[in-house]
Each structure stands twice: as structure tokens, then as C-alpha cells.
Structure 1
Amino acid sequence: MQASMKKNVYMTGYLPLFSIILFSSGFSIYFERLLIDKLTYFGVYQGMQELFDDHVIHLSIGFCLFLLFFMMFAALKLLSDTLTHLSLFFFSKDTEGNLLQQGKGGSWYFFVGGMLAIVLNHSVLLIGIVFLVASLLYFFQFLLRISARLSTIGIMGMVFLHLFFWTGFGLLVVYTVMRLYNAFVAAIT
């Protein structure tokens, strides 16, 4: 009787995929509306309407944006998982993977955040804030769960490794986007 009541650890294995789908949908809905507005403003949308029906244009743009955001969030999850494994390798003495299993379970933050992203699809800033809050909640929940088996230096090392990596990665992305934007503006003028 006791064994049948035991919680199945694979029960929430679908949550990361659904979270990525929900966040991707929230962002793609917002940017699809923005892109359609810009295409209409520049007069391109009317030309597209001569070739395709409205729903085909909306579905095509929405699907392409969804794929773009899906790939972006999947890559971010891959980076995050790799960084977590690397930080546990450097700052813990666990060789069995027990700490990684103990820290699991925060996927609900991203899932709830993804549902909020769908509701808040009218504001990219709000969706971004929800994603950032879900990420921070997940990270701090992970640290709290494994903190009993890590030294103070290990916890500080994990925090600083993540902080330095994500800050550097974010600055690199902003720098690259600004360079591309400046090159695009220079080519137009």
C-alpha cells in the first residue's frame, strides 16, 4: 500500500516542454501583432493580402515567430542545465547526482509563469518580467533545496558562477543586437 502511494518522480517531466511552449506562444502572439502593424504601416501587408488570405498571413508569421522563440528558450534551457551541472561539478562533493535530484521540482514556477505569459501577451515587458521572476524563483528554490549539503563557499561559488555567466551572456547579446542594429541603420541611410 505504501509503495503505491509513493510520488512518481517522472510525473512533472512534461513541465519544461509546456513552459517553453507557453512562453514561446506569449512572446510570439505579442510580436506577431507588432509585426503585422509594422507591415501595414509600411504598406507591405496590403501587397501580401493580394497573394494570401489574412488568416494564412497571420498563421505563417505566428508560426515562424513561435519556432524562433521555441528554439531560443530551448537553447536557454540547455545553457541553464549545463551551467547547473558545471557549477555542481565545481562546487559540490556529490558524485552520484543526488544534489541534482534534490534540487529538481521548481519547474512549476516556469509553468505558472508561462500561463501568465499567455494572459499578459499584450505587453512584452510584463512577459519578460514574469520570465525573469520565474527564473530567479527557480534558482533560489534550487539553492535552498541543496544548501544543506553544500558549504558556504560552494553556495557562493554557484551564485557567482551563474551571475557572471548570465550577466556576460546578456551583455554579449545586447552588444551583438546593437551592432546589428547600427549596421542596419547605416546601410539604410
Structure 2
Amino acid sequence: MKKNVYMTGYLPLFSIILFSSGFAINLERLLIEKLTYFGVYQGMRELFADHVIHLSVGFCLFLLFFMGFAALKLVSDTLMHLSMFFFSKDTEGVLLRQGTSGGWFFFSGGMLAIVLNHSIIMMVIVFLASSFIYFFYWLLKVGSSFSTSGIMGMVFLHLFFWTGFGLLVVYTVLRLYNAFVVTIT
């Protein structure tokens, strides 16, 4: 039986949908609790039915997470291509096709995130674990085509980029939070 190379092409989309759904379900529950605590939810119930409020909030959160994970996928693919350009001798794209079977790690992680949607910390851990497992699986799969310095360069490029990106996001969130707190007080 011939193996079709496009068989797993849907995995990134389904993985993004699963992770987005898990995070949206968790935050929708939290947001409804906060709206109830502040008394806003009761006013919303006068205008809309409960299920409409829940669906609207859930869908908006799903959309935000979907856009965020899709953007992360785009940045990740670009970084992967850039690191292949710098550190690989492959000019035909053969190595990129070899590593696509690792999408099952993200798909499995997305399924696990749906199951663990009661804990945001567990979902973040699952997402990070899926990312690390996929990256190291990909390195093992294509590592024989790299020199030692090429593998080290690729690992350090990804490490420095994602660390810098994460620190930039944390810094921006903290600055926005501080600005928000200052305007309230």
C-alpha cells in the first residue's frame, strides 16, 4: 500500500482547534465567574439568554486563542525554515517532509488539553511539553543530515528566539498591567 505524504496535513489545524477549545473553555468559565462576581452577568441576563452569553464569550475566546496559536505556528514554521537555511545542507526540502509526522505530538497534546481544561496550568504544561517533544523528535528524525555544529546552531537559534520572544511577551503584559493599575487607582 502506498503511503500518502499528505495524510497528516490536517493535524496542525486540528491541533490548533483542540488547544484553542481547551483554553477557551477554561477562560470562559473563569470570565463568567468574574462577571457574576462584579454583578455584570445579571445585567447581561436581562438582555440575553444564558446559553447565548456562554456561547458568545466562548466563541470570542476561541477565536482569540485560534488566532494566537495560528500566529505561533506561522512564527514557528518561519523559524524552522530559517534555521534550516542557516544550518542545513538540504536545498530540496527533503528534511522538512521527514519531520512532518511529528504533528501527532501536538494533536495528542490538544486532545489532552481538552481533557484537562479545568486547569490552565496543566494545559500550558501540555502545550510546552508537546512543543519540546516535537522539536526533539524532529531533531532526532533529521539530525543525521546535520553536522554537530549545525544541530547546536539550530538548537541555540530556537532557544534564543523563543526565550527572547517569551520575555518580550511577559514584559509587555507586565507593562500593560501596571498601566492599567495606575489608571484605576
Is 1:24 aligned with 2:44? no
Is 1:167 aligned with 2:163? yes
Q: 1:139, CA displacement in angstroms?
A: 0.2
Q: 1:102, CA displacement in angstroms?
A: 1.6
The separation in 2 between residues aligned to 1:101 and 1:51, in whole angstroms, is 52
What TM-score does the superposition give when structure 1 sets the normalisation length? 0.97
The separation in 1 between residues aligned to 2:49 and 2:99, in whole angstroms, is 49
What is the total number of aligned residue pairs between the two structures? 185
Q: Which residue of 2 aligns with 1:63?
A: 59
Q: Which residue of 1 aligns with 2:135?
A: 139
SS in 2 for 1:95: coil
Pick from 114, 117, 120 the counterpart of residue 116 of structure 2.
Answer: 120
On the 8 A contact 2:8/2:100 being kept in 1, the answer is no
On the 8 A contact 2:25/2:58 being kept in 1, the answer is yes
The separation in 1 between residues aligned to 2:120 and 2:59, in whole angstroms, is 18
Q: Which residue of 1 aligns with 2:104?
A: 108
Q: 1:22, CA displacement in angstroms?
A: 0.2
The separation in 2 between residues aligned to 1:33 and 1:85, in whole angstroms, is 38
Q: Which residue of 2 aligns with 1:98?
A: 94
Pick from 153, 157, 165 the counterpart of residue 157 of structure 1.
Answer: 153
Q: 1:103, CA displacement in angstroms?
A: 1.8
Name the Cα RMSD after superposition: 0.5
SS in 2 for 1:13: coil
Q: 1:93, CA displacement in angstroms?
A: 1.0
SS in 2 for 1:104: helix
* Structure 1 residue identity aligned to 2:23: F
The separation in 2 between residues aligned to 1:102 and 1:13, in whole angstroms, is 13
Q: 1:12, CA displacement in angstroms?
A: 0.9
Q: 1:62, CA displacement in angstroms?
A: 0.1
* Structure 1 residue identity aligned to 2:105: Y
What TM-score does the superposition give when structure 2 sets the normalisation length? 0.99
Q: Which residue of 1 aligns with 2:50?
A: 54
* Structure 1 residue identity aligned to 2:139: L
The separation in 2 between residues aligned to 1:95 and 1:28, in whole angstroms, is 40
* Structure 2 residue identity aligned to 1:60: S
Q: Tell me, which stretches of 5 or more residues in structure 1 are unaligned?
A: none
Runs of 4+ with deviation above 6 angstroms: none
State the identity %: 79
Is 1:188 aligned with 2:184? yes
* Structure 1 residue identity aligned to 2:53: I
